[in-house]
Amino acid sequence: MAVLTSLLRCSFSTPQLQSSQFQRWNTWIVGMKIGRAISLTNSTSQLQRRRRTLIYAVSQDAENSFKKTVEVDKLIDMLRDSNPTELQKLVVENVLAFNESFWIWLAARTETCKYEDDKKDYEELALSVMSVVDRLVRKTNEKIESATDVLKEILKPIVDVTEEITWPPRDPEALVLMEKELSQREQDGQLDEGFLAEVNAQLRQAKADGDKPGLEAMLQKVLQLYASRVLSKRSYAMKGNEILKAEAFLETLIKAPEEEWNKLLLDGLTLGKGEVSPEELYAVIKKRIERTLIRTEGGSYQQRVLTEYVRGIQSRTEEIVKVLQGKQQ
């Protein structure tokens, strides 16, 4: 970040008084003291011109400041309305615009939001922009990895030295390492549309081959981990000081591994041991899908992966509800 720090310092340095200006001012004072009328007259005239120049300069500064604010507003609007691919392009094209003024103005706009959802949008936008800027700085002199390379690094802890794929992995620690690698890659902004397209392409091929169940399960797990991480960034469980139980329960399911859903549903639904009715859970699932459709680009891999993950929770809920209702009859 040294480059950005240097840019910030340059952008906000304070101009110093020119020594020649001070000398001229000193001449005028000496002239006044010794009563030289001509010098005094000239000095007065110069001071008047200097005053008019100063007023004009202040006016120009205010105008320039206003123009810059308008430009920052336009940039924020463009970033807010962009999809992940467009956002990265905008950040690259306007990298020098992300100075102290930009972040101050973005924070101001966030604080003046009327609705909590809008405020969360701006907070998420700030994190996304910072992530892209940080990656640009760190990757300036490095080779940017392809989507295939990124996927290989994520799967590396699972695939053994003989390239044999077993699922679930023999070593439980391998799955933890895979999750950590995916989390870091997502934080670096590398799990973009290209990456999701690569995972989906390999998953389709594995299904078509029909003889690689381990690879198919592993790729499915990558998409589940991705969806869980992205969806967990936004919480709807609090309304003022009130905890919305159904929303909180859904968020618990979203964060949990798919293998734990059955137990969580048995313990959380009113048909089992919990406090959330199936109807309440279905309602918040429907609302979360609608929110995801609104906040992602139509037809994108990200939209498909996120909505399929939430629909997977709904399908599992329906299965558990049938089992529990059958026991009660």
Question: pLDDT per residue over 47-98, tens digit each?
Answer: 556 555 555 444 556 666 667 778 888 899 999 899 988 888 888 888 778 8
Contacts of 194 (CB under 8 A, 6+ apart): 147
The pLDDT confidence band at residue 329, using thresholds 50, 70 and 90, is low
DSSP secondary structure letters along 151-201: HHHHHTTTS-TT----SS-SSHHHHHHHHHHHHHHHHTT--SHHHHHHHHH
Among 308, 87, 79, residue whose Cα is nearest residue 192: 87
In tens, the pLDDT along 5-32 reads 333 333 333 333 333 433 444 433 333 3
* Same domain membership, residue 170 and residue 67: no
Give the chain's count of helices (H) and strands (E): 14, 2
Count of domains for the chain: 3
Indicate the residue among 106, 138, 170 that finishes a domain: 138
* Domain stop point among 107, 138, 169: 138
Residue 12 lies in a domain: no
Judgement on whether residues 32 and 134 belong to the same structural domain of the protein: yes
Classify residue 212: in a domain, yes or no. yes
What range defines the domain where residue 196 resides? Answer: 147-231
For residue 37, pLDDT over 80 is answered with no
Q: How far apart are CA 261 and CA 253, in angstroms?
A: 6
Mean pLDDT confidence for 153-178: 81
| pLDDT more than 70, % of the chain | 76
Tell whether 294 and 319 lie within a shared domain. Answer: yes
Same domain assignment for residues 35 and 117: yes
Query: Of the residues 138, 157, 182, which one is the last residue of a structural domain?
Result: 138
Residue % of the chain over a pLDDT of 90 = 42
Domain assignment of residue 18, yes or no: no
Provide the mean pLDDT of the chain: 80
243: which strand partners?
238
Q: What is the pLDDT of residue 168?
A: 78
Q: Is the pLDDT of residue 278 over 80?
A: yes
- Do 77 and 179 share a domain, yes or no? no
